[in-house]
A and B are shown apart, each in its own frame.
Chain A
């Protein structure tokens, strides 16, 4: 029973004897094996750690267990929120939108604006045109956006709603109310690709539908567009903008969602920050566009290269080499020397890497996450002398990614020990961790159960992270971002060392005060 002087959480409450007794009594009625046959549970638990289980597990054709990816519309919402006063609008059921908003809100600990047009059975039969007509008007009246970015759910895609016709039909019947609102739209079926595909499709739609055609292009030789991609680290957006500004004020970010998920206390603002629409509408005029996530911008790249005929490059400014390449690319495109400030930052990063390397050198890591995130992270681990033993990318694109990853891995002197696992989920990874263990795991919150099951410490880097606070505020890009990565990884190694050596009079001679 609770004692008022010391009210305990459920965590401790349920350890009290009366609750433990109650749990025991409950077993009598249960069918779970732990109540019926604990020995069987032990036996199967051990079996799941074996090579035999791993082989069966890897033969799966139809079943996905504990994925490390999600569906397209989520990415579309992030792309939309990168623009000034833009309301993401999902043509489909409102249940999806509640899920998307919840997912982002749990990660950023910030509100996430997004509406749906609440399609239901009648829309499934007759199509969602009337939902779209009412929905756009209501959205505009309540939330007064400058742009409404329409994406779709799988329901709307399966019934084959024609967005082009629907949006123009809705505008025509809106009695002028929608005349001043930009309404780009993108098909984002959940059964194709993953959240990064949705980002790509929405970004392409926003750019293409809000820019003139190439014949009306007025090239601005100095202007460079930078597209960040599906970037869950707001600090990364900030740092990239700082690096850009050191070269030129004509380098602009297209799709800048930093401020939207980082507003201060005081009053609630529905919209915050974002790429100004004037910048968006002149995107075609830039001489070059750099994408910071090659695989989150595959279709967008085609628009920019083939239709807009701009210079197009991809960079991945995660880690030392990636940031070097980005900085040199900016230097090349602007014709300017690398600013001294960046040389200083680079020196500080390398200095820090040289301080910490003994703790990472030769350590084995398993990493999982999005394709571009992994290319950067794996590169950094290799730069530090670590071994990326398992690289799991559940949403690995069919074309190019494995080859790119092989190229990164080839730089490691342990490249033979590094395995790349495209399109594998976290239950596959569980088998890998039991049969070919590593020292550390790097990934998002879903790595938590792997940590519990295998005892391999999880270093939380990725998306989503629901169970730790404020990590998304930091940068993982640029030299300062690499320093954050270095700090998190090194200190995780040291935490583990302390944990392993803390036993009095047995191991604590190694429980050093200086490391």
Chain B
């Protein structure tokens, strides 16, 4: 029944497009279920050029590099190099928490821009950039390095920011890193993640001096692909410490330069957001022989599974501690489930997010008895969809690079009880009277990683679904009309 509806709505949606676009989009949509052999998770096309002229929810390479991966590194100054807009739009929206004195030794929530004018486009911006780097160091002397994040024009006007950065690095003896993450490159923010990873590899991995004096232990781990949204990496870190590990490095939520340079000394790289940091995990495996492990800290079931997997790597002593920690927190999360599950059981959810979340959050919803009936990635690749398959529990609509038109039609047809996506979609669905949670920014709540965070997640899903506000949509006289009809 559900599967039939899902197949139907894909057909309906495709009818709205001109033939060329319909053909393209048909390859990005499908249905999958646990029983299917070659379902949509194996077959949908992804990481392709978006269809022009639609409201795509995707971002750009600059957003992936500056906005996602580099931006949270707190003691470095990230220059939005080019016109004024990009830095302004990406300021403060992702909620990458950090501890530090903003403007003095930490800079994450600020906006540093080279504010290009026509003159810079015509004559090139390299000279301005050189001056700018010196000004940064004079006014913000406690920065531990500068990154230059290219906006669209840089790669088009023939500027050589790599050369400028290299020269300045020599001059200042501090890191100066240029990222050619112009927004027109690639098809989405995904390329920006990759480019940022490449600069980590080229600029930080070799910085042996930053890790000189570091004394390793057998229990050192790095958290990768956690951007500390609403404090996620902190609630992750605590659990890892409690099971006896030492988190020596966080990438990149609340990260500082030195921590990042220590990473090649850790014993295991723990990768949360596979999409945005698998590149570096693979590199460190090849270059330094550090194994990496994907884990999932959304919801108690997945957190427990992950903790056991991580502990297994370190042997019996850590395993024993992990079991103690699991027992301690499971008591609490069982109570959370007992409190909220009766109010949420059977509720249907549609997801449309990015990174790891279209699959990673499924378990957390299921811990609360909720069902996922549709999910998709803004900028996923084939390996993301393949990994999604194992998390499916029923017939699920799969949509890659869905645009606003498609999402609206999917939701109207499948009538979920909750939509979990981004801010651009939020008010569309709320206007239809549908509970909605932003799952990029945790809707200004969080953290959502780990056991403590699950309590917040459960409370948030309950408040969204069971708020009285959704019952006011119809005026009393409209209700009467319906009764009379």
Contact = CB atoms under 8 A, between A and B. Distances in A.
Interface stretch (B230-238, B273-281, B310-318): B230-238
Contacts of A141: 16-18, 21
Given A29-B259, A74-B85, A266-B473, A94 B156 contact: no
Nearest to B55: A115
B205 to A, nearest CB: 16
Contacts of B131: 61-63
A14 interface: yes
A111 B428 contact: yes
Contacts of B100: 32, 34
B153 A34 contact: no
Nearest to B83: A190
B234 to A, nearest CB: 6
A505 interface: no
A52 to B, nearest CB: 11
B87 interface: yes
Given A62-B132, A449-B102, A192 B117 contact: yes
A301 interface: no
Contact of B183 (A48, A96, A102, A430): A96
Interface in A1-51: 1-4, 7-10, 13-14, 18-19, 22-23, 25-26, 29-35, 40-41, 44-45, 48
A314 interface: no
Contact of B111 (A13, A67, A192): A67
Interface stretch (B46-54, B283-291, B343-351): B46-54
B262 interface: yes
A34 B105 contact: yes
B170 interface: no
A123 B258 contact: no
A25 B120 CA distance: 46
Given A30-B258, A70-B84, A105-B427, A118 B249 contact: no
Interface residues of B, number: 133
Contact of B157 (A32, A140, A158, A264): A158
A29 B262 contact: yes
A306 interface: no
B93 A32 contact: no
B324 to A, nearest CB: 13
A468 to B, nearest CB: 13
Nearest to A94: B56
Contacts of A452: 102
B265 to A, nearest CB: 10
A430 B105 CA distance: 16
Nearest to B122: A191
Interface in A117-159: 117-121, 123-124, 131-132, 134-143, 153-155, 158-159
Interface size range on A against B: 35 or more
B16 to A, nearest CB: 6
A72 to B, nearest CB: 8
Given A64-B84, A65-B112, A265 B17 contact: no
A138 B53 contact: yes
Contact of A155 (B52, B144, B184): B184
B185 A120 contact: yes
Interface string B30-71: 000000000000000000011111111111111100000000
A485 to B, nearest CB: 25
Interface stretch (B3-11, B328-336, B359-367, B387-395): B328-336
A172 interface: no
A9 B447 CA distance: 8
A263 interface: yes
Given A32-B106, A67-B111, A124 B85 contact: no
Contacts of B106: 32, 34
A266 B58 contact: no
A60 B54 contact: no
Contacts of A18: 238, 242
25 contacts: A1-B329, A4-B332, A22-B237, A22-B238, A44-B105, A60-B139, A61-B135, A63-B139, A69-B84, A71-B85, A89-B53, A92-B152, A111-B427, A111-B431, A115-B55, A121-B184, A124-B155, A134-B52, A135-B53, A141-B18, A142-B405, A154-B152, A158-B121, A158-B152, A266-B431
Closest CB pairs A-B (n = 6) = A95-B60, A71-B85, A135-B53, A31-B258, A99-B89, A135-B52
Given A9-B445, A30-B258, A268-B431, 17 more contacts: A4-B339, A25-B241, A34-B101, A73-B85, A95-B60, A95-B189, A98-B56, A106-B423, A134-B52, A143-B405, A189-B83, A192-B117, A265-B472, A266-B433, A267-B432, A268-B428, A427-B103
